[in-house]
Chains A and B, each alone.
Chain A
Amino acid sequence: MENKRKGSRKKMYLKMVTGSLIRRASRLIIAVLAIAIGATILSGLVTIYYDIPEQLGREFRSYGANLIILPRGDSKITRETLNALKNLIGENKIVGMAPYRYHTVKINEQPYIIAGTDLLQAQKNSPFWYIEGEWGNSQAPDEVMTGHAIAETLNLKLGDSFMIQGVKYGEQAQASGQNLSAIENQKRDSARQNFHKNLKVKGIVSTGGAEEGFIFADIDLLDELVGDSFRADVIECSIIADAVELENLSARIEKEIPELQPRAVRRLTQSQDIVLGKLQALVLLVTVVVLIITVISVYTTMMAMIAERRKEIALKKALGAENKLVMGELLGEGVLLGLVGGALGVFLGFEFALQVSLNVFGRAINFQPLLIPVTIAIFIFITVAASIIPVRKVMDIHPAIVLKGE
């Protein structure tokens, strides 16, 4: 019986609260809109706030590697160590991870450095390199990229072929003999463990830096030419992480893979952190301003609503409703407004964040399901909090005065 009473009262309460909103929808549309706009901006900005590090992190990655891994001592980095490093960092954090093996070769009896690398990963690490022609790849290993300085010295153009000669791994390379002719030098080198290979220019690299003095080839090709297994001199990594995360990662690498020496590129990570910090502070500031505006908007709407409904409130009090009951009904309406406005705002907010992300970063963002309950809860709280002072006006309404006030 008691349950039935409670159920019946609850049903009537809901009927009054929903009836007030549904049947007076045109009056309340402004309030719902104010809350929905607030919720849209809040959920949109929160989405962006949490997505900025990811988005901007990827943008910053286009400025080059932010973590350089060197072997400890005179050793080289093996394939196993590279794989262990990949696992430790995690695939989802790696934008690019390019191992480099440097080897001296001769072209027309002049020494040059050839850098064997994973060209695809190098491209991910260094998208800012200007390439005349195309990036090389492992499918056509004989087609390589030469630095702009080398191309100029050797007068190489796209599609030109050139021959490299070198000493296999483990053999001491020697400078050309000063007193021997080129033919005699060639004969001397041939006697040693030498290699030679015809390569074709697929791309010419311009960076304005040291890269212009290298030949970039597929690392597997270089390993094959030097007759050795995979041994990298350095690994350049582009990792999605801020300065602190990068420092922590470096510490973990040193601890778990002691044969490696990680070096964070501080200039990049610090710039990234400064820009990120400023952007996030801006987003946070806008969010707070939007919340304040929403509170003011809901407050004024509720004030107007209560002024407009003075007679109804007075009637309820005349019928025997205590202040707390009437206030409970009005706050219930506030909860419902917050619920509807908040729910509307979550989805509009995601669309807003998506558009911002697509237009600013050129990437889509992931919808965070947790934002649904969080945004709705925040807006219910805001609506109720903003309604408290207006709702307390109920206590000042005297039925005898208001109901006779025709």
Chain B
Amino acid sequence: MSKKILELQNVSKIYGNLKALADINLSVNAGDWLSIMGPSGSGKTTMINLIGCMDTPSTGSVILDGVDISKENATSLTRIRRDKIGLIFQQFHLISYLTAVENVMVAQYYHSMPDYDEAMEALEKVGLKDRAKHLPAQLSGGEQQRVCIARALINSPQILLGDEPTGNLDEENEGIVVELFRTLHKEGVTIIIVTHDPEVGDVAQRKIILEHGRVIDDIDQTATFK
């Protein structure tokens, strides 16, 4: 049986009068590929912020790799995020004045030590070795997102967390990114993706549907999972 890497226990997040998440319970095993879906305002982003250590719950516990992060302060959350989470964003968020390889090395720099060869290997893994010296503005959207994935993977995180990772990509690039996720999953990487796109949500091993801050469905897609 796989190790439990993430557990949300009775998690609620309240902003003023708005209950963004209400009494969520969820557990994710190491190596799982989970997609979180739901309409706008359903609480997807709030959930990913909690899992990604960028926010803390109002009530309940978020246990990441055996550590309850609910009561941690901002500095401690930053350290945990740095060590355990690899983030992929819809808008890519690459640093405009650094080349592709330097963007990957930035994550290494904040984590431990920049290593050019390792960063090049990560870019090779996402098929961008020959674009390593290009600035983000010289890369297509799909290429930028692949650099973002290489950056997220460079420190071997416990969880690869994607917030609408294909939201800004065309069909072809979406296919390339999904294929990358598939390869990473095979290698044992735990992937949690928030998406609007049913095609991306459906390729995951497990799908969570959120609505009004509650989990209304938890679908095991192992049978259809390739």
Contacts and interface: CB of A to CB of B under 8 A. Distances in A.
Interface in A319-348: 319-323, 325
B225 interface: no
Nearest to B93: A315
B102 A19 contact: yes
A23 B97 contact: yes
B2 interface: no
Contacts of A320: 78-79, 81-83, 107, 110-111
A321 B93 CA distance: 15
Chain A interface, DSSP helix/strand/loop, else mixed: helix
A23 B79 contact: no
B89 A403 contact: yes
The range of chain B's interface size is 35 or more
Given A20-B97, A24-B97, A322 B115 contact: no
B124 interface: no
Given A5-B113, A320-B110, A321-B110, A403 B97 contact: no
B110 A8 contact: no
Nearest to B107: A319
Interface string A394-406: 0000111001101
A406 B93 CA distance: 11
A322 B54 contact: no
A321 B114 CA distance: 14
A406 B91 CA distance: 8
Nearest to A27: B97
Given A23-B135, A322-B75, A12 B54 contact: no
B55 interface: yes
A318 B87 contact: yes
A131 interface: no
B118 to A, nearest CB: 11
Contact of A325 (B45, B81, B110): B110
A11 B83 contact: no
B192 to A, nearest CB: 15
A2 to B, nearest CB: 10
Contact of A12 (B52, B75, B82, B114): B114
Interface in B49-99: 49, 52, 54-55, 75, 78-79, 81-83, 87, 89-91, 93, 95-98
B105 interface: yes
A337 B208 CA distance: 50
| Best-surrounded residue of B81, B106, B135, B163 (most CB of chain A within 10 A) | B106
A12 B109 contact: yes
Contacts, number: 81
A406 B114 CA distance: 30
Contacts of A399: 54
B113 A400 contact: no
Interface in B195-223: none
A317 B78 CA distance: 7
Contacts of B110: 316, 319-321, 325
Interface in A379-401: 398-400
A304 B113 CA distance: 31
A5 B109 CA distance: 10
A15 interface: yes
A103 interface: no
Contact of A9 (B96, B102, B109, B135): B109
Contacts of B81: 318, 320
B159 to A, nearest CB: 14
A16 interface: yes
A395 to B, nearest CB: 9
A311 interface: yes
A283 to B, nearest CB: 40
A184 interface: no
A353 to B, nearest CB: 36
Nearest to B154: A319
A160 interface: no
A403 B93 contact: yes
A256 interface: no
Contacts of B75: 322-323
Interface in B99-127: 102, 105-115
A34 B135 CA distance: 29
Contact of B115 (A8, A315, A321, A403): A8
Interface in A280-305: none
A312 interface: yes
Contacts of B90: 406
Given A8-B115, A319-B107, A322-B75, 9 more contacts: A16-B102, A19-B102, A22-B97, A23-B96, A311-B93, A317-B78, A322-B79, A323-B75, A406-B90
Interface of B: 45, 49, 52, 54-55, 75, 78-79, 81-83, 87, 89-91, 93, 95-98, 102, 105-115, 135, 151, 163
7 contacts: A12-B105, A12-B114, A315-B95, A319-B106, A319-B107, A399-B54, A400-B54
What 8 A-B pairs come out closest when comparing CB atoms? A320-B82, A23-B97, A400-B54, A12-B114, A400-B49, A320-B110, A321-B110, A12-B109
